[in-house]
Structure 1
Amino acid sequence: MRVRQQEILKELLFTEKDTLLIHHFATEFNCSEKTIRNDLQEIENDLKNFKSANLIRKPGVGISLQISKEDKKRLIALLYSNQSNYLEKLELTGAEIQEVTYRLLMERNLTVRSLSQHYFVSTPNMRRELEKIRNWLTTKNIKLKTKQRVGLMIEGMEQDIRMALISLDEIFPKSDRKPFLFQTMHSYEISRIESSVYKLLNEQRIPITDESIIHLIFYVMVMIKRIKTGHTLEIKEQQRALIQGKREFSWMKEIGQQLEHEFQLTFSQDEIIYLTMQLLGAKLSDKHGAFYSYDIETEKQAERITDILSKRLSILALMPFNQDARLKEGLHTHFYSVLHRLKYDLPLKNPLVSDIKQMYPFMFDAIITTLAEMKEELPSALPEDEVAFLTLHYQAAVERIRSKNKKMKRVAIVCHMGVGVSEILRSKLQGLFQDIEIIATLSQNDLKKYLKHKQVDFIITTMWTKDITIPQIIVSPLLTDEDKQKLRVAFSKKDSVNHETVPILKQLMDEKYIFIHGQFEHRFTLIEKIADRLHHDGIVERDYGHQALLRERAAATAIGGGIAIPHGSPGLVKESKIVVATLDKPMMWGTEMVTLVFFLVLKHENSDKRRRLFHQLSRLAGNPEMVAKITAQTDREQLIELLI
């Protein structure tokens, strides 16, 4: 329980009034009424230790505390003692972790003890909470250190600290709460910033996404707060030269002049330059029909990268990506922003990156592999957050191409109850299934004659007809729910026919290369040791392990569900294998914990076969119960049985 909450509780205990208003507490403690309501909720939770205590809220009347004399004495004694441990929490709430992180980034001279006292968490528990914050800050290139006689200190570049402040909602993501930064400024100040940003976007007709608009507003808020507390940033001379001649720089100077007057501060030229970078790195919504004129050189580079990437992926994935006009247009727009972000070293957070890697591992890996061969075309390597966005573009194209090429199932209806019932059945089926073409409604007597001249995929019939080789699905004339499910299963089987009689995993697994409950210090150690063994056995070239490590550094190969799929270059493989390793304890693999590793050693296999393998592994990643069964196995043969 915080100090403010203790004071509220004391006042409720000693007041002579029947009730006290929330407005009274908000005025007394100089905070919002919403904050007081949240405090009351926490007080109510802590009072559960006192059976007679009851916090009574009467809308329009006020708040009162109902409590027996005995419990009241005990509560007062605890409140005024130094041993009020009953009030201590085991951990901070998500919102409090957010708040502590903000304070660490913005304030000096904070100590573990001061934070423990303020948030009413014991010192050991606060240290544990700070470790969570330290881990999060590390992902932002910021260090949290403890210095004797000084306290907690933040070390990092000013640019990284600002990006961490903008990203605070990652810590406690809740869609029903307003962004954390909006709680750190007065509403009239936020309105002034929003007004300046929207005015610029509307006047210059800049087509950036809603997400990028919010980012720009957040950045201006953080920039103002950091400057007010004496924190400024410096830009590299090379970046100054790139930005100062751009029209976007002159636009941002205008915004800067407006805000300098509003907030009574001064922006250095470097501040305006970095603000301009935020605009240049923003995601564009749609280039088609926009009045915004683009940088011609960057636009041509974006088009060239799109064309090269799509052509190479078309070969790798056996998909005509270079013929998809919608994909081409979307990628041109996307890469225009990507090039600016890479040029100015601006991070882009993709909150769905782990889900994308799990759902579309083949496409994600294909893009990583292809981009590694296009280093000369890009200012720097794309981080996996950017690759995940590209994966969505290409996966959407896959769905469009498949939908376009999808063959309609040709269906004949056979009904023994006459034309009227046949037409009702036809109508119901057409409403339920969009991917079937009903080519005829027939009597049983006419069916065999019809099939001599027409191609049919399915016969939906109310009666079995003998001597027919085409699949027959028997349904009731009323088409019950059971019938509908039967049809869905039959149609889905048709869609997912696998012409391979032996599963890919079974073909490539070898009991010799299954390692049970291995102990490794780091994922790189695991990769090196397995690669060395494979090279010793003549399965791969010597450099395969090194290439697998380079791939791993480009983007961790964890695909969710406790599974990782490290792999190197196919050109260094002499014989295709899949090595399986279960771990004795979960290992950190990038940002995920992993217990099951499939070390993929694949030659330039048929792309469709490779894609099906990735799909099989992706399905397994979505089945945590099966992963747990596999990792618990101590017998190689039983492990293989589970996998196939």
Structure 2
Amino acid sequence: MTDKAAKIFSLLLNNDKMPLTVKKITGILELSERTVGTYLKEVYQFCAENEIEVINKPGVGISVNAGNRRDELMQMLARIEKPHYGAQYRTGYIIELLLNNWTTYTLSLFADDLGVSKNTVENDLKQVQQWLSRFSISVQKKAGAGIFLTGAELDIRRAIVEINRQFFKKSVKLPKKTLDYRLSLKTYQRLYGCYRNCDVDYYIALIQEADQNTLRDLTDSGFETLLEYLIVMEKRISLGFLVAEDEIEDVPADRPNILNYLSVYVKALKLPKGEQKFLQMVTCCLEYQNSTVRRDELFSQANPGILAFTKRLIAYLSNIVGLDFEKDELLLKSLYMFERSSLVRVRYGIDLQNPFRENIKKTYPAIFSACFAAGGLYEKEVGKFPTENELASLALLVGGAVVRSEKKVTAVIVCSSGFGTSQILARKIGDHLHNIDVLSTLSFSELHKLDLLNPMLVVTTISSLKCDRPTVEISPVLNEDDIHRLKKACLELQAEEGAEGQKITILDILKDDLIFLDVDGKAKEKILRSMTERMEKSGCVIDGFHGDVLRREQMGSTALGQGIAIPHGLSSFVKRPAIALALLNQSIDWGGEAVDIIFLLALNFGDIQNTKAFFKAFYQLTSDGHTMDLLRRARTKNEIKKIIEEHCFE
């Protein structure tokens, strides 16, 4: 409890069940009636959570009945001290109260609650506005009305979900188990703690009943998202806030009966049209545990617009990644099913949590980055850019297609050691390099069999072996250098045949003046400021690029694992495609991850050639930790360029 709420509760507790009017409380504590009314809400909440009876009789007053727990509660109140709250806590606290429609709050009340000056609260409100601007919500201050928010109801609901995901405090007695296999205990406890006046268990049972009635099981993320939005919907309707009909378009044409999923709930509440459309929209955002038969059936009745977008997305990613996905029927069907809900989520800002997001970013760093570039297609289609959760799900589908599209390099191992050693070496190569298909192991005297086997590559432990095929010499133990040489040979063999015109490489967009060595910095904002200013002086970007890069960082960390981050801004601020590279002399915190290599991107993702040049090189660089270590040890710009030149093949 806050300090003032604790004082009011202590007064009621000490008054031995005798009712006190608000006017009496204001006189004793020397507070205004408005202030007492505000903090009584917190007292009522505390009593409800701790099963303490509150008696409030109009014209008589307020009293509490703590039974034999009075001494226990008085001891607890004696331990309450006003803590020191950091800026991040204060910002979250203010946002949470404003979103929960505590419209009677003022600068003075926030200052008293948080133990800071009104000037500090004024500065905190700037951070609050910055956070809420992502949802097109504005902070308003009005004499006599306090501080309040204005914005579309749909945006308010999205912000409530987001702040509660970020700002959950374990301040209530929480349940020890959940009621559905798709709902994690952590999420169940968060919902139980955040929405304390709502019946979470009722909505769990409601969704379970809907699953049984429609034979459509939601995925875990779909279940959790629907559950939370149903709770928020009830909360907002109870306060008298409704979604306007024109805030949401009609349900997609290929899902006219989607609302049947929760038909019992809709009929019971007699929801107005705007709320029905809200529920339709949320339900369209969800993912279901569809069987292959169900997927094929839906694909046979594909929505032409969504199918056309899916094909554009596949064509774009094929160009960027440099692999032909357009013949991958499994990717087309899987991606179409994903886009049916993904496009709705992006349009309306409904963010399905992806528990594997960080793992996907680390497993497929270059593919995730390529999917970020493809986010521009979403902007053109629905006017919004996808979240990191959305991009991670897309990257997972594309990552599977990459594995299917990789061409195997056929190889023969030629050794001078025994058969057993050759077999061990073949197994090691297979474990480390999945794109190499070892056809056979041969001795030196069996070289004549090469023509019959016709391998693309000869791998040998024999020094200076003469052969008319591409050959890589390795050691019998297969060390890191050997693996690197084999990867390099495979990439060269798999490289595209020369296209018309001159190819653009990463070195064409990574100039000397944009390489930063041995950077001594502890804060990413300061480092990014130096990098963006250099880009601006070089004529690569225009004023505003720096601010856009920082806004992108607020949307989600651009750290990709392996100590790498790829901050970037929108193409509208880019005059000339460029990349800046910074090597730090020590790792710094980058959204919860340690980073010491920064690629700052100023790319126009509609420019396929330049974008492809970067992502192809980035894929090759990050697919081998050894290469990144070489970059870390580089001491000159020429060394860096040489490493990139040797490890990125066109």
Structure 2 counterpart of 1:310:
314
Equivalent residue for 1:363, pick from 360, 365, 370: 370
Q: 2:238 aligns with which of 200, 211, 228?
A: 228
Instruction: Provide the rounded CA distance (Å) in 2 between the counterparts of 1:140 and 1:254.
Output: 31
1:322 paired with 2:329, answer no
Computed over aligned residues only, the root mean square deviation of the Cα atoms, in angstroms, reads 6.2
State the alpha-carbon separation in 2 of the partners of residues 552 and 123 from structure 1: 31
Deviations 1:261-294 (A, max 9, x none): xxxxx64343233212211232344363239986
> Do the aligned residues in 2 keep the contact of 1:159 with 1:233 (CA within 8 Å)?
yes
Q: 1:178 aligns with which of 175, 187, 191?
A: 187
The separation in 2 between residues aligned to 1:28 and 1:390, in whole angstroms, is: 40
Q: Deviations over 1:193-215 (max 9, x none)?
A: 12122212321233543212211
Aligned to 1:337: 341
Pick aligned residue for 1:289 from 288, 293, 305? 293
Q: CA 1:628–1:596 in 2, change beyond 3 Å: closer, same or farther?
A: farther
Partner-residue secondary structure (3-state), 2:96: helix
How many angstroms apart in 1 are the aligned matches of 2:427 and 2:333?
Answer: 39
Please say if residues 549 and 567 of structure 2, whose CA atoms lie closer than 8 Å, have aligned partners that are also in contact: no
Mark the CA change 1:410 to 1:293 in structure 2 (over 3 Å): closer, same or farther.
closer
- 2: CA distance between counterparts of 1:173 and 1:450? 70
Instruction: State which of 189, 193, 200 in structure 1 corresponds to 2:210.
Output: 200
| 1:122 counterpart (91, 107, 115) | 115
CA distance in 1, matches of 2:247, 2:603: 45
Of 124, 129, 135, which aligns to 2:130? 135
Deviations 1:299-351 (CA, angstroms, capped at 9, x unpaired): 232223223433454355442212111111112212222454467x3533566
State the AA in 2 paired with 1:322.
E
Instruction: Give how far 1:448 is off.
Output: 5.3
1:24 maps to which residue? Answer: none
1:169 to 165, 168, 189: 165
Give the number of aligned pairs: 531
C-alpha distance after superposition, 1:202-239 (max 9, x if no partner): 21233543212211111111111122223233212984
Q: Distance in 2 between matches of 1:28 and 1:393?
A: 44
Specify which of 138, 144, 166 is matched with residue 139 of structure 2.
144
Contact kept, 8 Å, 2:578 with 2:601, in 1: the verdict is: no
- Residue 216 in structure 1 maps to residue 226 in structure 2: yes
Structure-2-length-normalised TM-score: 0.60
In structure 1, distance between residues paired with 2:392 and 2:514 = 35
Q: What's the counterpart of residue 103 of structure 1?
A: 97
* One-letter amino acid of the structure 2 residue matched with residue 331 of structure 1: L
SS at match of 1:321: coil
Change (3 A) 1:624 1:273: same
Whether the 8 Å CA contact 1:414–1:441 is kept in 2: the answer is no
CA offset at residue 107 of structure 1? 3.7
Residue 395 of structure 2 corresponds to residue 401 of structure 1: no
Q: Secondary structure at the match of 1:290?
A: helix
Distance 2:508 2:134 in 1: 39
Distance 1:323 1:156, change over 3 A: same
Match of 2:413 in 1: 411
Q: Is contact 1:314–1:322 with CA below 8 Å preserved after alignment?
A: yes
* Residues 140 and 278 of structure 1, relative CA distance in 2, 3 Å threshold: same
**Matches for 1:154-165 after TM superposition, within 5 Å:** 154-165=149-160
Distance in 1 (alpha carbons) for counterparts of 2:397 and 2:166: 26
1:392 is matched with which residue? 395
CA–CA distance in 1 between the matches of 2:440 and 2:609?
43
Q: C-alpha deviations, 1:562-594, integer Å up to 9, x for none?
A: 65455859x998xx8768899xxxxxx9xx999
Q: How does 1:16-35 map to 2 (within 5 A)?
A: 31=49
Counterpart of 1:169 in structure 2: which amino acid? R
CA contact (8 A) 1:367 1:391 kept: no
Q: Does 1:301 align with 2:299?
A: no
- Structure 1 unmatched ranges of 5 or more: 10-26, 34-63, 66-75, 261-265, 476-481, 535-539, 583-588, 631-636
Q: How many Å separate the matches in 1 of 2:513 and 2:372?
A: 27
Encode CA deviations 1:127-148: one digit per residue, 9 max, x unaligned. 3666554433232222334444
CA contact 1:240–1:273 (8 Å) conserved in 2: yes
Give the letter for the 1:364 counterpart.
C
Q: Which amino acid aligns with 1:162?
A: R
Contact kept? 2:413, 2:460, Cα under 8 Å: yes
Flag the 1:95–1:216 CA change in 2: closer, same or farther, 3 A: farther
Task: Label 1:319 to 1:506 Cα distance change in 2 as closer, same or farther (>3 A).
Answer: closer
Matches within 5 A, 1:445-594: 446=445, 457-459=457-459, 468=466, 470-475=471-476, 488-496=483-491, 504-509=505-510, 559-560=558-559, 563-565=566-568
Assess, with a 3 A threshold, how the Cα gap between structure 1 residues 424 and 474 changes in structure 2: closer, same or farther.
closer
Task: Provide closer, same or farther for how the CA distance between residues 433 and 414 of structure 1 changes in structure 2, counting only shifts above 3 A.
Answer: farther
Structure 2 vs 1, CA of residues 386 and 532 (structure 1 numbering), >3 Å: closer, same or farther?
Answer: same
Instruction: Give the letter for the 1:410 counterpart.
Output: V
1:474-521: CA deviation from partner (whole Å, max 9, x where unpaired): 43xxxxxx6565654554444455989x9944444556888999xx99
Q: What is the CA–CA distance in structure 2 between the aligned matches of 1:533 and 1:428, rounded to whole Å?
A: 47
Equivalent position of 1:255 in the other structure: 265
1:90 to 1:176, Cα distance in 2 relative to 1, 3 A: farther
* Contact 1:324 1:397 (C-alpha < 8 Å) held by counterparts: no
Q: Which residue of 2 aligns with 1:347?
A: 350
Partner of 1:586: none
| 3-state SS of paired residue (1:301) | helix
- Asked if the contact 1:306/1:332 (under 8 Å) is kept, the reply is yes
- CA deviations 1:429-481 (Å, max 9, x no partner) are 7777765555555556x3556568665645565xx566556444343xxxxxx
Counterpart CA distance in 2 for 1:625 and 1:154 is 49
Q: Which deviations, in whole Å up to 9, do the C-alpha atoms of 1:91-117 show, x marking residues without a partner?
A: 259888766543321142134544555
Q: Contact 1:208–1:285 at 8 Å: present in 2 too?
A: yes
CA distance in 1 between counterparts of 2:214 and 2:505 reads: 55
**Secondary structure, aligned partner of 2:474:** strand
TM-score (norm 1): 0.61
Q: Residues 254 and 471 of structure 1: is their aligned pair in 2 closer, same or farther, counting only changes over 3 Å? A: closer
Structure 2 stretches lacking a partner, 5+ long? 11-44, 52-70, 171-183, 497-502, 520-524, 584-589, 643-650
- Cα distance between partner residues in 2 of 1:182 and 1:135: 28
- What SS does structure 1 have at the residue aligned with 2:187? coil
Deviation by residue 1:135-168 (Cα, 9 ceiling, x = unmatched): 3323222233444454332222221111122222
Partner of 1:227: helix, strand, or coil?
Answer: helix
Is the CA contact (8 Å cut-off) linking 2:580 and 2:601 kept in structure 1? Answer: yes
Residue deviations 1:518-573 (CA, integer Å, cap 9, x gap): xx99x99x999978985xxxxx9xxx979999x9999899955665455859x998
**Retained in 1: the 8 A contact 2:250–2:277?**
yes
Whose radius of gyration is greater, 1 or 2?
A: 1
Pairwise CA distance, 1:618 = 7.3
